[in-house]
Amino acid sequence: AQTVTQSQPEMSVQEAETVTLSCTYDTSESDYYLFWYKQPPSRQMILVIRQEAYKQQNATENRFSVNFQKAAKSFSLKISDSQLGDAAMYFCAYSRYSGGGADGLTFGKGTHLIIQP
Amino acid sequence: EAQVTQNPRYLITVTGKKLTVTCSQNMNHEYMSWYRQDPGLGLRQIYYSMNVEATDKGDVPEGYKVSRKEKRNFPLILESPSPNQTSLYFCASRSGGRGNQPQHFGDGTRLSIL
């Protein structure tokens, strides 16, 4: 079974600075998908960014980018120019899809991101 | 508006009293899942469904049942709730195809079992 590990329970950053959230995963698959979700205090689960393992290029969405290292099974999230609205719990997730078998996501335990004004 | 709707949003009930949390999506998605979220544990999958009449267990299925009689609905049933099922529950759906399609989540249901 796949596992996802987020080793930073909490991170704090000054507004406008850059912060990187770590995520590692374990899988024996060669083709898979990874996601970062944001959960603000409202509890909504909001997709931040996704990465397909067969793509070598790191995904980017505005101020959010990933550093995907397939060999190291690492998938970190970089947030540039941090804003107060970025304060939330961030979850790294691995897609369990297996071509007709399992589905859904395996989540890490989350990183609570605090933005200092 | 594309959405996943869960009801109720909050429920306080007692041990042993059967309850159902409904989930409905209006995006014609094939795949649906239920997760529970507990402090320090992240979200864990309870059950998933690949289409009508096709469901299977996730990581923490004990004490739960599901059904998928219609494509849009995927209710979560607690036949005899216990205090250890007190949690925040999320329903999610995604379109078919490969696993790169993101999950769309409902707003969550906070269950308290006394």
Tokens of A65: 């980018």
The Cα A48–Cα A1 span in angstroms is 25
**Does B88 contact A43 at a Cβ distance shorter than 8 Å?**
yes
Q: Which among B31, B43, B100 has CB closest to A91?
A: B43
Pick from A29, A38, A20: nearest CA to A107: A38
User: Which residues of chain A have a CB within 8 Å of the CB of B100?
Assistant: 33, 50, 52, 95
If you ran DSSP here, which 8-state letter would residue B78 be given?
Answer: E
CB B93 within 8 A of CB B107: no
Low-confidence stretches of chain B (pLDDT beneath 50): none
Chain A residues in contact with chain B using a Cβ-Cβ cutoff of 8 Å: 6, 9, 32-33, 35, 43-45, 47, 50, 52, 91, 95-98, 100, 102-110
In percent, the amount of chain A with pLDDT more than 90 equals 79
Output the pLDDT for position A101: 66
What's the Cα-to-Cα distance from B9 to each of B22, B77, B91, rounded to whole Å? 10, 15, 12
CB B33 within 8 A of CB B47: yes
Instruction: State the average pLDDT over residues A1-19.
Output: 95
Output the pLDDT for position A76: 98
**Does B108 contact A102 at a Cβ distance shorter than 8 Å?**
no
pLDDT band at residue A112 under the 50/70/90 scheme: very high
Output the pLDDT for position B97: 73
pLDDT single digits (tens) A25-61: 998 888 889 999 999 999 999 999 999 988 889 999 9
Q: Which among B100, B102, B107 has CB closest to A43?
A: B107
pLDDT band at residue A16 under the 50/70/90 scheme: very high
Output the pLDDT for position B58: 93
* Beta-carbon count within 10 A of A108 CB: 25
Helix or strand run (H / E) with residue B41: none
pLDDT single digits (tens) A76-103: 999 999 999 999 999 999 987 766 667 8
Tokens 């939330």, residue located = A88
The Cα B114–Cα B112 span in angstroms is 6
The Cα A80–Cα A60 span in angstroms is 11
